[in-house]
Structure 1
């Protein structure tokens, strides 16, 4: 049932403009869901007019928008009433009617971005498309704060500092303790909600495995003390030299550099361990070039990029980039293969040495329980070998035999039985937890932006 204030306004509208009352009733029921008009925000009004109305409400949409505007005007909500009869609303409704849903939705997104009330992504949080209750509450609270700042003149979205000011306000609203949250902040609430969803996952075996991580991943994982990622730093430093480093014909670095890597990092010398397929230096090169975009090819040389220079001067950013690479999908990998690596990191994070074959069997049991019907030990071996190569390239695991520095062509083996057991180092365990936390807290990408339901 409509809230009393809405009912009173509808009664008044029936007396003053009876032809508008029915359309206004339809609009306000969709818009408020029975809540008082005081709960409306600019974001909710814009989403109704520019998304819900043209896609979900039948009838003369222009007339419905105008009727809603009249009702809001009677309620003293002049700014929201003006949106209902604005040229922007008319243009968006025409785009839906004449050019189709895709064109209308694109026009809606452009107009919504231009309002300045859409909370921007910040370093601490990238917004999901489909939000749980906590994230939706945070999103609406931040939007209301942005709207108030614009109305009060403290924020001008069109100014040169508008983007930075909106990010600063959003960050402050997310991270400051809130009395209405019992002293907690919205960022903790959103992270807790995402982490809980990740832990629950799919399948009983995965839930049982992931349950302890809800506590372990609650707070950010500190980077390890002491030297770490030395091989990656060495590669970036080499690429920073004048002229970069010479590339060998084909797809690798010249043998002198491979020999230097073998000597520095205890890798087997070039030419040995070719059965490993893509070896440590080749894996490191591929990650730095194609995933981190930290180096690039310039003729016959490998040179550092501006992104690589930033990573060298920012240890925290370098750590985040390297740990993210543990779960970055390789070209052509399916979601199942990323899930395999995720489960593999959970099993390895305890620090116990596990032979690759045994690890593959345990991972397969968990992944099959998630609903991947074709996840046999042989099929999970490929992504597990890729994970192990990355850990070895970053010196995050120890094995009975060190990896080769020789660069060969990438070729995932069909299975990994017989490879020596591997255990994560302390830095490797920290990296595994950091990668898992980033995976758990990543935004969920769906269709609708801020209503918490799919379109």
Structure 2
């Protein structure tokens, strides 16, 4: 094949020596010095629409000349599809957009990449990151190559009606195909991300979660009683669908508060409650829905967002969104909640002995000790968390878990070491930890 490239370059040089020179250099960049057989449509597009204008040529006419010369070389090699990309009107328009501004060029490049069909799409089960590990790079490149083949065979037709759904289904099927070891590319990506998450130097407390590796990779499906567990959230969404009246200072109407307390049997002090602030269960649910971006304030009413309407109609999506939102924090809040879930997951429903720890040990102090022992705060005493800080975060989370029936025991129990996750609670905690551990560091 190298002889074929050399012959084509010689032929081009007889027509235009400078074109042959720049085309040879461009081809070496596109193939990264590999054999011509490794060339892909995505690589050609990335070069013409991004690398060429951003990294190599600042002069507009030179960009066009390089792209045209590479297209001529591809034509001589019989690679007509790639030649067309280099010499097409869309490529010229993208290069012209860089002449307006870098941002204009980058926007045009991203639109064209998505529209070409060879860029692997984000899926509900996988959002591609910008910081990729080796397994994810291999999967991304393999998926792109498979999409290119499907497009060339007209199994996917970019630009036609419904093509994006066909592209997503193709990518999903491809990523889920098991190899000879029974593991799919999606499995390998998840394992890679979980391992990186557990090994994060900025989150040393996660080292304690290594025994949960397999469970964190697999996550958990919503349990059969997910709808019953999420009933309080669903009920709040029901109210928000009609619009919840709010007080002048922004709290949920006392009438709605009392109706919810009566429906779910929430104990309050005083009883009946005078305000939302008297009902910790409702405060926890309202905070979660806001973090989920499922509700918003509109004047003196709390209403559903567009996302809230989608979640209202789909129990599985609501389950996933709630689990994702409960760990959508940062700093000490995230570390505390992760450690709480990790400690509870390590306890079986009837666990005793070393895994249960001492029943008279306050759970907040247990979490704090875990964080400090793992190196949280480093050598700076000011960053070492206090028990009251951890307790404030933990109590908000445990109120939510209790309200949804995910944990046994009650916040007033004298023996917090007796707390255990219910079956649904284990599924929820695993889903939350799995989603946190498998999310990419950054997204496209």
- TM-score by length of structure 2 reads 0.81
Structure 1 residue 149 displacement after superposition: 2.7
Paired with 1:366 and 1:251, the residues of 2 have a C-alpha distance of 41
Q: Which residue of 1 aligns with 2:430?
A: 433
Q: Which residue of 1 aligns with 2:351?
A: none
Q: Which residue of 1 aligns with 2:337?
A: 341
| Equivalent pair of 2:288/2:326 in contact (CA under 8 Å) | no
Paired with 1:152 and 1:111, the residues of 2 have a C-alpha distance of 20
Paired with 1:27 and 1:56, the residues of 2 have a C-alpha distance of 12
The gaps in structure 1 that reach 5 residues or longer are 404-417, 450-455
Q: How many residues align?
A: 421
| Equivalent pair of 2:367/2:390 in contact (CA under 8 Å) | no
Comparing 227-236 with 158-167, greater Cα deviation is found at 227-236
Are residues 198 and 204 of structure 1, via their aligned partners in 2, closer, same or farther at CA, if it must alter by over 3 Å? closer
Q: Which residue of 2 aligns with 1:413?
A: none
Structure 1 residue 80 displacement after superposition: 0.7
Paired with 2:379 and 2:433, the residues of 1 have a C-alpha distance of 20
1:358 to 366, 387, 403: 366
| Paired residue secondary structure (2:419) | strand
Paired with 2:299 and 2:150, the residues of 1 have a C-alpha distance of 52
Paired with 2:116 and 2:264, the residues of 1 have a C-alpha distance of 54
Q: Which residue of 1 aligns with 2:97?
A: 95
Matches of residues 152-191 of structure 1 in structure 2 within 5 Å? 152-178=153-179, 182-191=181-190
| Paired residue secondary structure (2:217) | coil
Are residues 16 and 305 of structure 1, via their aligned partners in 2, closer, same or farther at CA, if it must alter by over 3 Å? closer
Q: Which residue of 2 aligns with 1:32?
A: 31
Paired with 1:4 and 1:444, the residues of 2 have a C-alpha distance of 43
1:315 aligns with 2:311: no
| Paired residue secondary structure (1:217) | helix
Structure 1 residue 432 displacement after superposition: 1.4
- TM-score by length of structure 1 reads 0.79
Paired with 2:154 and 2:199, the residues of 1 have a C-alpha distance of 44
| Equivalent pair of 1:356/1:419 in contact (CA under 8 Å) | no
Paired with 1:372 and 1:186, the residues of 2 have a C-alpha distance of 42
Structure 1 residue 201 displacement after superposition: 1.6
Paired with 2:47 and 2:279, the residues of 1 have a C-alpha distance of 53
Q: Which residue of 2 aligns with 1:452?
A: none
Q: Which residue of 2 aligns with 1:411?
A: none
Q: Which residue of 2 aligns with 1:387?
A: 397
Structure 1 residue 350 displacement after superposition: 2.3
Structure 1 residue 283 displacement after superposition: 2.0
Q: Which residue of 2 aligns with 1:48?
A: 47
The gaps in structure 2 that reach 5 residues or longer are 348-355
Comparing 166-175 with 262-271, greater Cα deviation is found at 262-271
| Paired residue secondary structure (2:401) | helix
Matches of residues 15-164 of structure 1 in structure 2 within 5 Å? 15=14, 17-58=16-57, 60-96=62-98, 98-164=99-165
Paired with 2:408 and 2:159, the residues of 1 have a C-alpha distance of 54
Matches of residues 270-309 of structure 1 in structure 2 within 5 Å? 270-271=269-270, 279-288=280-289, 290-295=290-295, 302=302, 308=308
Q: Which residue of 1 aligns with 2:232?
A: 231
Paired with 2:156 and 2:381, the residues of 1 have a C-alpha distance of 52
**CA deviation digits over 1:38-92, x for unaligned, max 9?**
2111111000111111222258333322222222222111111122222222332
Are residues 420 and 131 of structure 1, via their aligned partners in 2, closer, same or farther at CA, if it must alter by over 3 Å? same
| Equivalent pair of 2:119/2:144 in contact (CA under 8 Å) | yes
**CA deviation digits over 1:421-444, x for unaligned, max 9?**
683422323211110100111123
**CA deviation digits over 1:87-123, x for unaligned, max 9?**
2223323333x33422221221122122222222122
Matches of residues 209-248 of structure 1 in structure 2 within 5 Å? 209-226=208-225, 227-239=228-240, 246-248=245-247
Comparing 162-171 with 12-21, greater Cα deviation is found at 12-21
Q: Which has the higher contact order (CA 8 A, sep 6+)?
A: 1
Q: Which residue of 2 aligns with 1:396?
A: 406
Paired with 1:321 and 1:40, the residues of 2 have a C-alpha distance of 40
Q: Which residue of 2 aligns with 1:407?
A: none
| Equivalent pair of 2:294/2:305 in contact (CA under 8 Å) | yes
Structure 1 residue 327 displacement after superposition: 0.8
Paired with 2:120 and 2:382, the residues of 1 have a C-alpha distance of 41
Are residues 402 and 7 of structure 1, via their aligned partners in 2, closer, same or farther at CA, if it must alter by over 3 Å? farther
| Equivalent pair of 1:400/1:422 in contact (CA under 8 Å) | no
RMSD: 3.5
1:423 to 395, 419, 422: 419
**CA deviation digits over 1:184-241, x for unaligned, max 9?**
322222222222221222169435313122212222313345442343234334556x
Q: Which residue of 2 aligns with 1:412?
A: none
| Equivalent pair of 2:204/2:376 in contact (CA under 8 Å) | no
| Equivalent pair of 2:399/2:411 in contact (CA under 8 Å) | no
| Equivalent pair of 2:292/2:321 in contact (CA under 8 Å) | yes
Are residues 257 and 147 of structure 1, via their aligned partners in 2, closer, same or farther at CA, if it must alter by over 3 Å? same
| Equivalent pair of 1:360/1:384 in contact (CA under 8 Å) | no
